[in-house]
Amino acid sequence: WVALLLRHPGSPPDLNLNLAARIATAFAGLFVLFLLLMVPGLPWSLPFWPWVLVPMSAVGAIAWIQRDFLGLLRRRFGPWAAAGALPLQLLFFICCGLAVPLGYLRHWAWRRRQRSD
């Protein structure tokens, strides 16, 4: 989607995330970053405590942002469904965050191919 928007700048960005989803994507990025920074034995590793609170807080923030959706799941399917959906929401927002640089990379590769032809 990012590559298509870059290729066709006049296109309406209908599939773009709203502000809350963008903030949740940033929290998902913090989650991944601090998990990577806490891998034991690496030179840049942070101590487990108190840094484990950062990724936990990021998950809590995503749950807060998605509280309406998670509440709907809880009402319709029970608390276990809502709890089970939270890791999937986290994975979704991680993928959203990865899609942006990958879209730029794809667009860059496409432009290089266009120039060489």
Distance CA 109, CA 86 (A): 35
Question: Mean pLDDT of successive 10-residue segments in the chain (117 residues)?
Answer: 70 73 96 92 84 95 98 98 97 93 85 83
pLDDT, position 61: 98
Distance CA 76, CA 88 (A): 17
pLDDT, position 13: 64
pLDDT, position 43: 85
* 24, 26, 28, 30 alpha-carbon torsion, rounded to 10°: -140
pLDDT, position 23: 95
CA angle 72/74/78 to nearest 5° reads 140
Q: Count of residues for the chain? A: 117
Residue type, 83: A
pLDDT, position 4: 67
pLDDT, position 47: 84
Positive/negative CA dihedral, 50, 96, 19, 67: negative
pTM confidence score? 0.82
Helices (H), 18-116: 19-37, 48-51, 53-65, 67-77, 79-116
pLDDT, position 88: 98
pLDDT, position 115: 86
